[in-house]
Amino acid sequence: GLDIRDVKIIVQWKAPTDLNTVIQRFGRGARDPGLQAVVILIAEPNCFYEER
């Protein structure tokens, strides 16, 4: 894989299917100490549900 240490924005198209994938992908940002990153998740409406 690539080791690009100064990634500041991560855009994830579609929700990952498991938590390990989420952590792996979102953890790619701001690898250098002192940096901050933003994660944008673009997910389908059916990924969310309403509790009633």
Which single residue is written with the structure tokens 């998740």? 41
12/16 Cα distance (integer angstroms)? 8
Mean pLDDT of 8-31: 90
Q: What percent of the chain has pLDDT over 70?
A: 92
Q: What is the percent of the chain where pLDDT is above 90?
A: 33
CA atoms of 36 and 23, how far apart (whole Å): 16
- pLDDT given at position 52: 67
pLDDT of residue 1: 67
**Whole-number Å distance between alpha carbons of 47 and 38:** 21
